[in-house]
Amino acid sequence: MQIAVKRLKVWSNKADMEFAVEVEILARVRHKNLLSLRGYCAEGQERLIVYDYMPNLSLSSHLHGHHSAECLLDWKRRKISSTVNRTITDWALPLACERKFSELADPKLNGKYDEEELKRVILVSLVCAHTQPERRPTMPDVIELLKGESKEKFSELENDEMFKAPQPAAAAADDEISIAENSSDFISEEKDMNQEVKEIVQENTHNS
């Protein structure tokens, strides 16, 4: 029988408490999709948990690890009705970036709403669904933003990178050209070219 051993890297009171809770839960829970607890060690600051070995790795490794790219949960794989399979960020975020907030309002309101409040609700909702959990606001911040108590925080939210419209390809190309023209390499090449032109003109003038 193959086993896997999970070892606590750094001991602390908090980690020790989490270890105890995990061992207790694993000892009580029995399910066909959960690994059984084979044993544990709690000696000094050494903390070990012994499981059955998982030849196909863990669910976490498939969702967030090296194998995550192989199991992308697209809508076809999820088998959810096409009428409900678009998330809020799929269709609402592009409209918010273009500041088309009225197109996100419930038609039942018949246009009877405060535009600033609508914008506030939409932006806060979208940032709460941010793909990076650490970028999501805390509940106290959400309440503060929805109540409009902090203009500074809302201004920061409104100018967040998340809500900036994608730059058109032509504009991006122009920016790249502008950056290149202002770079030291471009200026150096331009100076060298001007110097060559001057030398040719002087040489032709001298020969004539």
Whether 30 is in a domain gets the answer yes
Has residue 31 been placed in a domain?
yes
Closest CA to 125 of 107, 146, 111: 146
How many residues in the chain? 208
Q: What is the pLDDT of residues 124-149, one digit of tens each?
A: 999 998 888 888 999 999 999 999 88
> How far is residue 86 CA from its own chain's centroid?
18
Question: Does residue 200 fall inside a structural domain?
Answer: no
Confidence of residue 196 (pLDDT cuts 50, 70, 90): low
* Residue 120: predicted pLDDT: 93
Looking at the chain, the whole-number percentage of residues with pLDDT higher than 70 is 66
Same domain, 101 and 146: yes
In a domain, 155, yes or no: yes
* Residue 71 within a domain: no
pLDDT value of position 35: 78
Query: How many independent structural domains does the chain possess?
Result: 2
- Residue 197 within any structural domain of the chain: no
Q: What pTM did the predictor assign?
A: 0.44
Instruction: Give percent of the chain above pLDDT 90.
Output: 28
State pLDDT tens for residues 156-178.
Answer: 998 988 888 765 544 444 544 44
By the 8 A CB rule, do 165 and 98 touch?
Answer: yes
Instruction: Kindly calculate the radius of gyration of the chain based on its CA atoms and give it in whole angstroms.
Output: 30
**Domain assignment of residue 97, given as a range:** 88-163
Tell whether the model's pLDDT for residue 19 goes beyond 70: yes
Higher-pLDDT residue of 51 and 171 is: 51
Signed CA dihedral, 112, 116, 121, 126: sign only: positive
Query: Is 175 domain-assigned?
Result: no
The pLDDT, as a whole number, for residue 90 is 74
